[in-house]
Amino acid sequence: MHLTLQSGVFQWDEKTQGLILGAFYYGYTTTQILGGTLAQIIGGKVLMLFGVCWTAVLTLLTPVFAIYGGFPGIFVLRLLEGAGEVCIAVRV
């Protein structure tokens, strides 16, 4: 059985798609130490609340960034989402 993909609004090749998906990882991994330090200073519960709200708002803005920002906009958005997820991963 052969599946064919329908063309969508964004004509991004596999490399571009990989960079967009990887941007989340880059944001997540580069802010690990910062997230731990912030948790020690302001507390894990407050940091987790901030992280959940931050990531939720950015996720809601994804279509806007994709349409008006193109690749650079969605790449930066995914970086920021990854950085926000660090706050969620912190344990109290």
pLDDT the model gives residue 87: 76
Condensed to tens digits (0 to 9), the pLDDT of residues 26-55 reads 999 998 888 888 888 998 888 889 989 999
The pLDDT value recorded for residue 25 is 94
- CA dist., res. 47 & res. 55, Å (int): 12
For 71, the 3-state DSSP assignment is: helix
